[in-house]
């Protein structure tokens, strides 16, 4: 682990604050298609599947690029990598406004997707400024930059109404470029990078950085992130479309309701980091999966009408989730997903302190791929089933499988650490021995009352 000698509290706050702000802007740009894509869908007459692919394409670039950006950040430092990534993305966003056809829109969306790669750049940069006892909280605060999705859902619909989607994209590009310049001017080299410069040490090679990826544990972490982050991104993009189609709401209202999901799914990530530091990431993941299962089970239930043959006459039932109750469920779901995102990344700098970029990049890539494939799967399910709640059924199945795998893995770890549990076939809370059989009471004590009662 690198030394934090000479690092002041102000240095830590500076690095964390700048990184969180930059990530917020990048995340807002990354999810812009959730709003302007609705307008593009109408202009080009796209199907749900085509629209899902358009929304998911930036997620693909942001996902695949994470593993490479993570390695490069470990080698050249976040102070260089973060502004460079933002400037390249700003150019792609600006060029987006000159596109006219769907295939070229997909190509432009690939460039825009680099904004999503900013996450692992920030993780690799921020984690270098804190010791392991505080990395969970620090990375949770940084991860709250996911609130950029809520910024887009709240603000972008009004920008689109006032300036059109092209003007909205130009504003996003300018803000991103300005953020890149400010980050470079006010940030400092992280302690590890500064130490390498002082000693003249060469950075670790890419092959050495990627070595831990052979561990199954890394891929298990990535699977958790497929849901807590991938599904979060997918739902942030899908919910505006869902509210417009399933409930007939206006785009501005749908954007606000979707923002109510994105907001707790972002800002409470800091709380998830603190909880992981205090009670352990494993407990937080159990909480995330169990509450998510309950929410998604209810959200998956489609509008249903059925008739029961009563004694006197048929009785009709209509089951429908009101929009208010549905929004409340998404808020709860977003909250626990934000806790889960922090819990997953709490593990990485603890288990792999010298490979945060590569391991975090892989985990982020798999999670981001969830954000790519899930919108496409949502569109396919809608086209094939015609049931608006089908995407939530898919998410329920994913969470159920993840929860079972996590529990089985934890039980196996416990048996390896405690060989005495190898032959244990019951739950861990079964006592070592059952409660002893009560001994007969002595004559003249407890039986006396009973004897008196018989005589009476």
pLDDT in tens, 341-366: 888 888 777 777 767 667 777 787 88
The CA-based dihedral angle spanning residues 345, 348, 349, 355, taken in that order and rounded to the nearest 10 degrees:
-130
Are 168 and 38 in contact, with CB atoms under 8 Å apart?
no
Average pLDDT on 292-307 reads 86
Task: Phi first, then psi: give them for residue 179, nearest 5 degrees.
Answer: -60, -40
Point out the least confidently predicted range of 92-96, 213-217, 273-277: 213-217
Point out the least confidently predicted range of 31-35, 158-162, 446-450: 446-450
Banded model confidence at residue 456, pLDDT cuts 50, 70, 90? very low
Q: Would you say residue 297 has pLDDT above 90?
A: yes
CATH class of 9-193+209-421: mainly alpha
Average pLDDT on 175-188 reads 94
Average pLDDT on 228-256 reads 85
Q: Which residue has the higher pLDDT, 290 or 214?
A: 290
Between CA 278 and CA 63 the distance in angstroms is 30
Which value, in Å, is the radius of gyration of the alpha carbons in the chain?
26
Query: What is the per-residue pLDDT across 83-140, written as a single tens digit (0 to 9) for each?
Result: 999 999 999 888 888 877 888 888 888 888 889 889 889 988 998 888 777 777 888 8
The rounded percent of the chain whose pLDDT value lies above 90 is: 19
Q: Would you say residue 450 has pLDDT above 80?
A: no
Average pLDDT on 383-398 reads 90
Banded model confidence at residue 193, pLDDT cuts 50, 70, 90? confident
The CA-based dihedral angle spanning residues 102, 108, 113, 118, taken in that order and rounded to the nearest 10 degrees:
-160
Point out the least confidently predicted range of 7-16, 46-55, 58-67, 376-385: 46-55
Q: What is the mean pLDDT of the chain?
A: 81
Using the structure block, give the residue that is written with the tokens 């990184």: 19
Closest CA to 225 of 67, 86, 435: 67
Q: Would you say residue 444 has pLDDT above 60?
A: no
Point out the least confidently predicted range of 116-120, 131-135, 186-190, 238-242: 131-135
Closest CA to 415 of 406, 403, 407, 423: 423
Q: Which pLDDT belongs to residue 191?
A: 84
Q: Which pLDDT belongs to residue 2?
A: 56
Query: What is the per-residue pLDDT across 364-374, written as a single tens digit (0 to 9) for each?
Result: 788 878 877 88
Average pLDDT on 53-76 reads 81
Between CA 453 and CA 455 the distance in angstroms is 5
Q: Would you say residue 454 has pLDDT above 50?
A: no
Q: Would you say residue 277 has pLDDT above 90?
A: no
Q: Which pLDDT belongs to residue 181?
A: 95
C-alpha distance from residue 47 to each of 50, 166, 245, 391 (Å): 5, 21, 13, 16
Average pLDDT on 59-72 reads 82
Closest CA to 160 of 150, 171, 174: 171
Are 319 and 278 in contact, with CB atoms under 8 Å apart?
no
Residues 6+ apart with CB under 8 A from 134: 277
Banded model confidence at residue 335, pLDDT cuts 50, 70, 90? very high
Q: Would you say residue 321 has pLDDT above 90?
A: no
Q: Which pLDDT belongs to residue 329?
A: 94
Structural domain boundaries in the chain: 9-193+209-421
Q: Which pLDDT belongs to residue 452?
A: 47
Which tokens hold the place of 309?
């043959």
Q: Would you say residue 449 has pLDDT above 60?
A: no
CA angle 383, 387, 390 (to 5 degrees): 90
C-alpha distance from residue 440 to each of 219, 426, 435, 446, 447 (Å): 58, 31, 15, 9, 10
Q: Would you give the DSSP letter of residue 101?
A: S
How many Cα atoms sit within 13 Å of 14 on the Cβ side? 15
Q: Which residue has the higher pLDDT, 239 or 42?
A: 239
Closest CA to 333 of 262, 245, 244, 253: 262
Q: Where are the beta strands (DSSP E) in 224-378?
A: 304-309, 314-319
Let me know if 302 is exposed, middle or buried by CB neighbors in 10 A (0-12, 13-18, 19+): middle
Q: Which pLDDT belongs to residue 393?
A: 93
C-alpha distance from residue 389 to each of 34, 229, 320, 352, 393 (Å): 18, 20, 11, 39, 7
């Amino acid at each position: 682990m690198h030394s934090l000698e000479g690092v002041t509290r102000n240095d830590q706050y500076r690095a964390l604050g700048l990184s969180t702000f930059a990530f917020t802007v990048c995340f807002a740009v990354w999810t812009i298609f959730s709003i302007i894509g609705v307008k593009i869908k109408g202009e080009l007459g796209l199907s749900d599947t085509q629209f899902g692919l358009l929304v998911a394409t930036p997620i693909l670039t942001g996902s695949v690029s994470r593993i490479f950006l993570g390695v490069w950040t470990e080698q050249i430092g976040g102070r260089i990598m973060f502004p460079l990534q933002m400037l390249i993305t700003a150019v792609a966003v600006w060029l987006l406004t000159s596109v006219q056809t769907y295939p070229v829109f997909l190509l432009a969306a690939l460039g825009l997707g680099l904004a999503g790669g900013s996450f692992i750049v920030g993780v690799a940069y921020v984690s270098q400024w804190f010791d392991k006892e505080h990395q969970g909280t620090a990375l949770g605060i940084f991860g709250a930059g996911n609130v950029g999705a809520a910024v887009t859902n709240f603000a972008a619909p009004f920008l689109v109404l006032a300036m059109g989607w092209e003007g909205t994209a130009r504003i996003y590009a300018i803000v991103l470029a300005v953020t890149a310049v400010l980050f470079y001017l006010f940030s400092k080299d992280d302690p590890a990078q500064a130490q390498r410069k002082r000693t003249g040490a060469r950075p670790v090679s890419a092959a050495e950085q990627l070595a831990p990826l052979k561990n199954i544990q890394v891929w298990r972490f990535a699977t958790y992130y497929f849901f807590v982050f991938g599904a979060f991104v997918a739902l942030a993009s899908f919910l505006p479309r869902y509210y417009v189609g399933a409930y007939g709401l206006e785009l501005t209202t749908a954007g606000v309701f979707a923002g109510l999901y994105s907001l707790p799914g972002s800002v409470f990530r800091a709380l998830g980091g603190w909880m992981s530091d205090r009670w352990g990431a494993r407990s937080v993941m159990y909480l995330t999966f169990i509450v998510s299962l309950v929410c998604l089970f209810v959200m998956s239930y489609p509008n249903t009408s059925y008739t029961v043959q009563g004694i006197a006459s048929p009785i009709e039932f209509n089951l429908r989730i009101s929009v208010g109750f549905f929004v409340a469920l998404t808020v709860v779901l977003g909250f626990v997903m934000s806790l889960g995102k922090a819990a997953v990344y709490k593990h990485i700098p603890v288990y792999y302190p010298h490979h945060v970029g590569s391991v975090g990049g892989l985990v982020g890539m798999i999670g981001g791929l969830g954000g790519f494939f899930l919108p496409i799967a949502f569109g396919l399910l809608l086209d094939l089933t015609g049931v608006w709640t089908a995407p939530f059924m898919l998410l329920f199945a994913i969470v159920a499988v993840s929860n079972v795998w996590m529990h089985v893995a934890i039980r196996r770890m416990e048996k390896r650490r405690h060989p005495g549990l190898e032959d244990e076939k019951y739950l861990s809370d079964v006592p070592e021995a059952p409660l002893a059989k009560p001994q007969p009471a002595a004559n003249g004590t407890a039986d006396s009352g009973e004897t008196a009662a018989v005589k009476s």
